[in-house]
Homo-oligomer: A and B are copies of this chain.
């Protein structure tokens, strides 16, 4: 990550801390957050080391509810399940709907229910890695809880992070949520099949993503029709 991007992220974190709570407990809140993030960062690094030791490629997918994260993973797994032994971890507040959908496509899937937490953290992933024989897998996908904000606080230890938005979220969605785009290697604009009907300004979205993170790779897809899913797999070098 470039120095400029690191500084941007730092500035956003400082801005945030001003309004976290009333004067009485602000310092406690800020210090706790710093500890949690540091703790998470260490564990994420450990996760990544373990996955690499076992030659497992890893990708995590973040995005709002309804962006099409599960549908994209379904399509990807359908294509890659002959080539790789795949494990998919799905995060959700409750239910195991997503894991069941993916299981139907020849990949093992594990559901994590977070209760009320708004994102997966490295600790969730660590506990699963510890209890699995990693020699049984070549590829790990993690689908985060549907949320375009909180996952920016926690890296998980994957090689690549994909942020997915959809045309139904409107053309402001990327400009409004810079953090995840700063932290991701790949941006997906999904539901491109609905763009015309909705009148979504796709060029603006592409431009915003590049403005926020010049290194990010961007692709438009339709998980429904399958459009560009193969290209996404190419970008991921899978």
Residues of A near any B CB (own CB < 8 A): 12-13, 15-16, 18-22, 24-25, 28-29, 32, 35-36, 39-40, 43, 64-66, 92-95, 97, 113-118, 121, 123-124, 145-150, 152-153, 166, 168-170, 172-173, 175-179, 191, 197
Contacts and interface: CB of A to CB of B under 8 A. Distances in A.
Given A25-B32, A65-B170, 15 more contacts: A12-B115, A13-B116, A15-B116, A16-B114, A16-B115, A20-B117, A21-B121, A25-B36, A64-B65, A64-B66, A64-B146, A66-B168, A95-B176, A116-B179, A147-B150
Contact of A94 (B65, B115, B176): B176
Contacts of A94: 175-176, 178
Nearest to A197: B197
21 contacts: A12-B115, A12-B116, A13-B116, A18-B115, A19-B115, A20-B117, A21-B123, A24-B39, A65-B170, A65-B176, A93-B176, A93-B178, A94-B175, A94-B176, A97-B176, A116-B153, A117-B149, A118-B118, A118-B149, A146-B148, A147-B149
Nearest to A118: B149
Contacts of A178: 93-94
Contacts of A65: 64, 148, 169-170, 173, 176-177
